[in-house]
Chain A
Amino acid sequence: MHNEPRLSLHIPEPAARPGDEPNFSGIQIPSAGSTPKPPVDADERSLRDMPYGLVRVLDDDGNAVGPWDPALEADTLRMALRAMMLTRAFDNRLFRVHRQGKTSFYMKSAGEEAISVAQSLALRSGDMCFPTYRMLGWLMARGYPLLDLINQIFSNAADPLQGKQLPILYSAKEYGFYSLSGNLGTRLGHAVGWAMASAYKNDDRIALGVVGEGTTAEGDFHEAMTMASVYRAPVILCVTNNQWAISSFSGIASVGQTTFAAKALAYGIPGLRVDGNDFLAVWAATRWAEQRARLNLGPTLIEMFTYRAEGHSTSDDPTRYRPLHEASAWPLGDPVDRLKSHLVRADLWDDASHEALGRELDVEVKTAVKQAEAIGTLGKSKPPVSSMFEGVFAEPDWRLVEQRREMGV
């Protein structure tokens, strides 16, 4: 006896591969302003359509429309644009620095700058972000010194992490930026625990935990979701859906007929799906979830729907697994261009200022790179070797003392 038809194993494939035209026809984009904005204290049961909408504020012409428009001050918008452009300028420069052999590794945030910049500006200084490695914008928006970033990337004598960590896996507690790691998803549960601690202490700080869509397949994601919902932790959990996990399209992590935001439903927490290339939408959705958390109403899951505009890292070539021009065909555009056109349309900005700012930021980054290079690029300068033995424990035990002596440092 056997089934008719015979069973066959399904292996998902993306709509387009190298050599094909980009194909985003399967993606439904609701018009800007069409997804409703519920009150922040809405009952979760009334929010169950939200994961299937798409919070959008900026329309195709750069107008801010609909209930999610946060009506931000012009200064905030210009500050945001600057931080996003600085992130991009820094990424482009440091990517080249890697190609020049001055460091071992680099990862860009290209296409995702709106997300980290908006979240950094929407949350408070005492809050803590448990970031992914594509959230440089968080630090840029908070004024983290460029020189410290580059010293870390060079693992040189002035590296704030003293050469202990891979380039770009920063840690900046004072800037609300938790220690990064190359393991995926392992810090999402830390965000929940950190938020639980804030609630335990009756403080008013909240946490933001972020993973990519590929990492939602990890058990860590589901354990963090369970813990967050059970203890109603004041945490915002974000899934940055940039469509690609190295070379695996998002369909390898979850089937296309649902959304990553919809994973919230079974946990009984609100799930929002947001246009991640729309600075205003990201800001508004983050603030909505933030207010809920501070009202003791617990966690929110937000899917930031975006596109990873460049390779995963310096170690892969995206033209080997996706169409050459897929990034420019992304139906939700480029986050920097969209915020710029909004500002221009509102008469708060113009092309000349934009170009001038671009040049200014290039110089700023270039100057910082030169300063870091003067200290030393990877291998040309490093912290004292003895520091290798420090920080394993609060106090080194005899093994570390002996091994350091054995090395003669």
Chain B
Amino acid sequence: MIQALNSALDVAMARDPDVLIFGEDVGYFGGVFRVTDGLQAKHGLQRCFDAPIAEGGIVAAAIGMSAYGLKPVAEIQFVDYILPAYDQLVSEAARLRYRSNGDFTAPLVVRSPYGGGIFGGQTHSQSPEAIFAHVTGLKTVIPSTPHDAKGLLLAAIDCADPVIFLEPKRLYNGPFDGDHDRELSTWAGHAAAEVPEGHYTINLGEAAIAREGSDATVLAYGTMVHVALAAVEKTGIDAEVIDLRSIVPLDIDTIVTSVSKTGRCVIVHEASRFGGFGGELSALIQERCFYYLERPIERVAGWDTPYPHAFEWDYFPGPSRVGAALRRVMETN
């Protein structure tokens, strides 16, 4: 996925001289996860450069650049560190178009590594997508495969609105089904690891059906798509797994079609449960699919604690918890 993201940035920079990248350690070094590796050498110092450790300042500058007409792609080194920039995202980027009635806009992209599974402890593991989804005016994208990562990032760069692009860091080097005891797998040979070289986009707001099925629906995004697929495999339940890909805009039609078909739904995310995005999904399904539902909707999520270092795999909503939820929704009345 790292190479796919790198390729997306490379392609975008080659296509449009107004695309530029900055963030902490992204320049000469190429980023702590190597996503911007080689871009400074190839495209020049001014187009991919290091930023001071000032997340608010980085996002503020990116907003100013985008208001000028550039297409900045700012990196926040870990999404855990984005909170100093939250004011800029909420009070400025998300509202500039609205409050100025279109006089000014802020079509920036903020990329940030996200999620757990790498023993990053409390400060390198969080999944705060809900706090972006709640802000009207921001789009929030979370890919689960290299192919999607490139197409979605290129779409985010083309987008006329501010986009938060969250990169599940556990998926950077390979898919992860939640079985942490096994040897690491790489993307090699994975169907969605085939990434076209040139420019392509995947529309923001179009979910992917990661697995078709008829007995239940699993809604997931990012790392949890792989966990959900593994759980479906293990339980033998013929569930449909929907990879949302972006939570704003949300592909409500695909969700409603699937849940109306299956009548059973499990929502999975790594973020803690209370006030999480699963609550919104659950409410939407209840509003739109109530008469189709055979069982209560299940939510599988991180516990309502900070992300604990020693208890990473106790916290992480792995395939056994997803499987148990699937079995519960399959019970008959």
Do A and B assemble together?
yes
Looking at the complex, which one of A195, A223, A393 makes contact with B54 (CB distance below 8 Å)? A223
In angstroms, how far is the closest chain A Cβ from the Cβ of B275? 19
> Are A190 and B64 CB-contacts (below 8 A) given A179-B96, A227-B54?
yes
- Tell me the chain A residues, 243-275 only, with Cβ under 8 Å from chain B: none
Q: Which residues of A contact B188 (CB under 8 A)?
A: none
Q: Which residues of A contact B202 (CB under 8 A)?
A: none
Q: Which residues of A contact B59 (CB under 8 A)?
A: 189
Looking at the complex, which one of A164, A193, A397 makes contact with B61 (CB distance below 8 Å)? A193
| A85 vs B95: C-alpha distance when bound (angstroms) | 33
Which of B100-108, B109-117, B167-175 interfaces with chain A? B100-108
| A162 vs B97: C-alpha distance when bound (angstroms) | 12
Residues B60 and A164 in contact, CB atoms below 8 Å apart: no
Question: A22 in the interface, Cβ–Cβ < 8 Å?
Answer: no
Residues B104 and A220 in contact, CB atoms below 8 Å apart: no
State how many residues of chain A have any CB contact under 8 Å with chain B: 43
> Are A164 and B20 CB-contacts (below 8 A) given A186-B91, A193-B63, A227-B52?
no
- Tell me the chain A residues, 368-408 only, with Cβ under 8 Å from chain B: 391-394, 397-398
Residues B88 and A219 in contact, CB atoms below 8 Å apart: no
In angstroms, how far is the closest chain B Cβ from the Cβ of A1? 37
Residues B205 and A397 in contact, CB atoms below 8 Å apart: yes
Q: Which residues of A contact B105 (CB under 8 A)?
A: 394
- Tell me the chain A residues, 285-343 only, with Cβ under 8 Å from chain B: none
| A172 vs B66: C-alpha distance when bound (angstroms) | 17
Question: B69 in the interface, Cβ–Cβ < 8 Å?
Answer: yes
Residues A394 and B64 in contact, CB atoms below 8 Å apart: no
Residues B20 and A200 in contact, CB atoms below 8 Å apart: yes
Q: Fill in one digit per residue for B63-75: 1 if any A CB lies within 8 Å of its CB, else 0.
A: 1111111101000
Q: Which residues of B contact A398 (CB under 8 A)?
A: 249-250, 252
Question: A50 in the interface, Cβ–Cβ < 8 Å?
Answer: no
Residues B57 and A392 in contact, CB atoms below 8 Å apart: no
Q: Which residues of B contact A197 (CB under 8 A)?
A: 64-65, 68-70
Q: Fill in one digit per residue for B19-32: 1 if any A CB lies within 8 Å of its CB, else 0.
A: 01000000000000
Question: B84 in the interface, Cβ–Cβ < 8 Å?
Answer: yes
Q: Which residues of A contact B65 (CB under 8 A)?
A: 193-194, 196-197, 200
Question: B161 in the interface, Cβ–Cβ < 8 Å?
Answer: yes
Looking at the complex, which one of B52, B62, B84, B97 makes contact with A394 (CB distance below 8 Å)? B97
| A393 vs B139: C-alpha distance when bound (angstroms) | 9
Question: A104 in the interface, Cβ–Cβ < 8 Å?
Answer: no
Question: A230 in the interface, Cβ–Cβ < 8 Å?
Answer: yes
Question: A358 in the interface, Cβ–Cβ < 8 Å?
Answer: no
Q: Which residues of A contact B56 (CB under 8 A)?
A: 189, 219-220, 223
In angstroms, how far is the closest chain A Cβ from the Cβ of B205? 7
Question: B92 in the interface, Cβ–Cβ < 8 Å?
Answer: yes
* Range for the number of chain B residues in contact with chain A: 35 or more
Looking at the complex, which one of B18, B58, B101, B248 makes contact with A391 (CB distance below 8 Å)? B101
Q: Which residue of A lies closest to B53 (CB)?
A: A226
| A169 vs B88: C-alpha distance when bound (angstroms) | 17
Q: Which residues of B contact A181 (CB under 8 A)?
A: 91-92, 95, 99
Q: Which residue of A lies closest to B94 (CB)?
A: A392
User: Which of A194, A224, A392, A393 counts the most B-chain CB atoms under 10 A from its CB?
Assistant: A393
Q: Which residue of A lies closest to B74 (CB)?
A: A193
Q: Which residue of A lies closest to B99 (CB)?
A: A165
Q: Which residue of B lies closest to A197 (CB)?
A: B68
Q: Which residues of B contact A393 (CB under 8 A)?
A: 97, 137, 139, 160-161
Question: A232 in the interface, Cβ–Cβ < 8 Å?
Answer: no
Question: B274 in the interface, Cβ–Cβ < 8 Å?
Answer: no
| A172 vs B58: C-alpha distance when bound (angstroms) | 25
> Are A392 and B52 CB-contacts (below 8 A) given A194-B64, A224-B57?
no
Q: Which residues of B contact A55 (CB under 8 A)?
A: none
| A397 vs B250: C-alpha distance when bound (angstroms) | 9
Q: Fill in one digit per residue for A149-183: 1 if any B CB lies within 8 Å of its CB, else 0.
A: 00000000000111011000101110000110101
Residues B52 and A190 in contact, CB atoms below 8 Å apart: no
In angstroms, how far is the closest chain B Cβ from the Cβ of A255? 24
Q: Which residues of A contact B160 (CB under 8 A)?
A: 393-394
| A192 vs B61: C-alpha distance when bound (angstroms) | 6
Q: Which residue of B lies closest to A220 (CB)?
A: B56
| A275 vs B205: C-alpha distance when bound (angstroms) | 54
Looking at the complex, which one of A178, A189, A227 makes contact with B104 (CB distance below 8 Å)? A178
Q: Fill in one digit per residue for B35-56: 1 if any A CB lies within 8 Å of its CB, else 0.
A: 0000000000010000110101
In angstroms, how far is the closest chain A Cβ from the Cβ of B287? 11
Question: A117 in the interface, Cβ–Cβ < 8 Å?
Answer: no
| A398 vs B137: C-alpha distance when bound (angstroms) | 13
Q: Which residue of B lies closest to A190 (CB)?
A: B64
In angstroms, how far is the closest chain A Cβ from the Cβ of B40? 14
Residues B68 and A223 in contact, CB atoms below 8 Å apart: no
> Are A394 and B161 CB-contacts (below 8 A) given A172-B103, A179-B104, A190-B60?
yes
Question: B212 in the interface, Cβ–Cβ < 8 Å?
Answer: no
In angstroms, how far is the closest chain B Cβ from the Cβ of A318? 27
Question: B87 in the interface, Cβ–Cβ < 8 Å?
Answer: yes
In angstroms, how far is the closest chain B Cβ from the Cβ of A50? 25
Q: Which residues of A contact B248 (CB under 8 A)?
A: 397
A-B contact pairs, 27 of them (CB 8 A): A161-B99, A164-B101, A165-B100, A165-B101, A169-B99, A171-B99, A171-B101, A171-B104, A179-B100, A181-B95, A181-B99, A183-B87, A192-B61, A193-B63, A194-B67, A200-B70, A201-B70, A220-B87, A224-B57, A224-B60, A226-B54, A391-B102, A392-B137, A393-B97, A394-B160, A397-B248, A397-B250
- Other 19 A-B pairs with CB < 8 A, given A161-B100, A181-B91: A171-B100, A173-B103, A187-B92, A188-B60, A189-B59, A190-B61, A190-B63, A191-B64, A192-B57, A193-B62, A197-B68, A197-B69, A219-B56, A223-B54, A223-B57, A227-B61, A230-B52, A394-B160, A398-B252
Chain A positions within 8 Å of B, measured between CB atoms, are 130, 160-162, 164-165, 169, 171-173, 178-179, 181, 183, 186-198, 200-201, 207, 219-220, 223-224, 226-227, 230, 391-394, 397-398
A-B pairs, 3 with minimum CB distance: A189-B60, A193-B64, A223-B57
